[in-house]
Structure 1
Amino acid sequence: MKKSNTPKIFLLFLFLALVAAIAITFFILTRPSHQASNTVEQFYGYEQQGKFSDSWELFHPQMREKFSKGHYIQDRAHVFMNHFGVETFEFTIGDIKKIDQWKMEKGAKPLTNVYHTVVIQTFKGKYGQFRLHQDLYVVKEKEEWRILWDYNK
């Protein structure tokens, strides 16, 4: 009686499909645009939970010069939570696009390999529902992805 090669071919095909799936997943997850998007998601996840200390940690050094950690924590909580009467918000992240070079503001050091997106935060508070659209930039600084806001006029 002759043995069938069908199980061996099936196992080989299954193994190759698994290797291909792992390779594709690794490729997608390690792409800079995906990593930049994850950083934006993490930043606004912290903001959504009121963890302003954690979100401040994701700022680029140029952003950290704008305000101290304590000032940021106090200001964010005051403006959004207290002043507008908002408990939390929803957010959407637009498409991530690479920019070769960008400056946060006039006179700032130019940054290279920057990723840009627009984040829309939807708030529901004592003044009704409102949306905040903000340009957001992400750049890799010392092997870590960092957030910047646009201060160009």
Structure 2
Amino acid sequence: MKRQFKTLPFLFIGLIAIGITTLLFFLFNSPQHQAREVVEEFYTYEQEGDFSSSWQLLHPQMKDRFSKGHYIQDRAHVFMNHFGVTTFSYNVKDAEKLKDWKMEEDSEAIEEVFSMTVVQTFKGKYGRFDIYQSVFVAEEEGDWLIMWDYNK
């Protein structure tokens, strides 16, 4: 009888560990977490000036707006040349789940999208300034991809 009581705490600790592991697995594999991760990845590439890699994370509707070459050239030109900066820091605000969101008025609605606000902080020849941008992330063929709002 004494032996059963000695193993009971270990069984209890084991069940708690399994529960915590399961909870963490679902938290880090949730759609919201995956969407936030792609935003972090996108802005890390942008921060490094790797606009080719960040372009790869754009949703097909976004890629219809920018050819890869145009995107790379334009992003580098605007941020590096016009703003006179070499990099920036950024902060991603909490994600909000949206239903039936459209990138443009006449575009097809996307059933599930996560919206986040990204704040980019630049230090350049015009001083320190922040750009706040709403970023939307949608799943397309198993990948979470970046979109911007073009509604008027």
> What's the TM-score, normalizing by structure 2?
0.94
Per the alignment, residue 70 of structure 1 pairs with 69
Per the alignment, residue 134 of structure 2 pairs with 135
Q: What is the 5 A alignment of 1:1-20?
A: 4-5=3-4, 7-20=6-19
d(CA) in 2 for partners of 1:16 and 1:10?
Answer: 10
Deviations 1:78-110 (A, max 9, x none): 110122111111111112111111111121111
Q: What is the 5 A alignment of 1:46-61?
A: 46-61=45-60
Q: Does 1:91 align with 2:105?
A: no
d(CA) in 1 for partners of 2:106 and 2:148?
Answer: 15
For the residue of structure 1 that corresponds to 2:97, the secondary structure is strand
d(CA) in 1 for partners of 2:8 and 2:44?
Answer: 46
d(CA) in 2 for partners of 1:94 and 1:81?
Answer: 25
Per the alignment, residue 23 of structure 1 pairs with 22
- Deviating beyond 4 angstroms after TM superposition, the runs of 4 or more aligned structure 1 residues are 2-7
User: How far does residue 130 in structure 1 lie from its aligned partner after superposition?
Assistant: 0.5
Aligned residues: 152
Deviations 1:106-131 (A, max 9, x none): 21111111111111100001110000
User: How far does residue 7 in structure 1 lie from its aligned partner after superposition?
Assistant: 4.5
Per the alignment, residue 32 of structure 2 pairs with 33
d(CA) in 2 for partners of 1:114 and 1:54?
Answer: 22
For the residue of structure 1 that corresponds to 2:146, the secondary structure is strand
Gaps of 5+ in 1: none
For the residue of structure 1 that corresponds to 2:14, the secondary structure is helix
Q: One-letter code of the match for 2:45?
A: Y
User: How far does residue 146 in structure 1 lie from its aligned partner after superposition?
Assistant: 0.7
User: How far does residue 31 in structure 1 lie from its aligned partner after superposition?
Assistant: 1.4
RMSD: 1.4
Per the alignment, residue 147 of structure 2 pairs with 148
User: How far does residue 58 in structure 1 lie from its aligned partner after superposition?
Assistant: 0.5
Q: Does 1:103 align with 2:102?
A: yes
d(CA) in 2 for partners of 1:90 and 1:43?
Answer: 13
Gaps of 5+ in 2: none
* Residues 47 and 7 of structure 1: CA distance in aligned 2, closer, same or farther (over 3 Å): farther
